[in-house]
Amino acid sequence: MNPDNKTVNDRIAEFIRVKGMRQSEFAKMIGVKDNRLSTIISNNNNPNFEFIQKTMSVYRELNPDWLILGEGTMFRPESGEISTGQSEGESDGGDVRYLKQIIKQQEEMIGALKDHIATLKKEHYCSDGKKSKAG
């Protein structure tokens, strides 16, 4: 079932390394605390469903079969992500598709954050524009 003999924790660390990110960047992107990610990476704690779900929703190019089961390749074939077996000249179209996908995800995240900010402002201020007593 796990042909590479690695744990989910190992594969998360490998994905972060391949993406060229720091652990703190990855944690921030998926909305978890740095120390939570550190305990997972150090194999002291297994990721729960919520952690996997957050990871998969932010990094849609990540192959869930690879992450969870250790089967297949790290990236989904349709993601356009450069696989380790690709030569540099073959990756140009994939790079553009991948970057467009990242931009789209970031735009969606910005929109969701703007909506969340507006909701927080409504909750924090009374209808007359004055700060609520709770805040």
Q: What is the DSSP letter of 71?
A: -
pLDDT at 128 over 60: no
Domain end marker among 43, 60, 79: 79
The mean per-residue pLDDT over the stretch 44-49 comes to 91
Residue 115 has which token pair?
Answer: 């909506």
pLDDT at 20 over 70: yes
Residue 131 has which token pair?
Answer: 């700060």
6 and 64 share one domain: yes
44 is a domain residue: yes
Domain tally for the chain?
2
Encode 79-118: b = buried (16+ Cβ within 10 Å), e = exposed.
Answer: bbbbeeeeeeeeeeebeeebeeeeeebeeeeeeeeeeeee
62 and 7 share one domain: yes
Q: What is the pLDDT of residue 103?
A: 83
* 0.85 exceeded by pTM: no
Residue 49: which CATH number?
Answer: 1.10.260.40
For residues 46 and 41, give the distance between their C-alpha atoms in angstroms, rounded to a whole number: 9
50 and 73 share one domain: yes
85 is a domain residue: no
Summarised one tens digit per residue, pLDDT across range 84-123 is: 433 333 444 556 776 777 787 788 778 888 888 888 888 8
64 and 115 share one domain: no
57 and 17 share one domain: yes
pLDDT at 27 over 90: yes
122 is a domain residue: yes
64 and 33 share one domain: yes
For residues 88 and 14, give the distance between their C-alpha atoms in angstroms, rounded to a whole number: 21
Residue 65, domain extent: 1-79
Residue 67 has which token pair?
Answer: 């992450």
Residue 130 dihedral angles phi and psi, to the nearest 5°? -90, 155
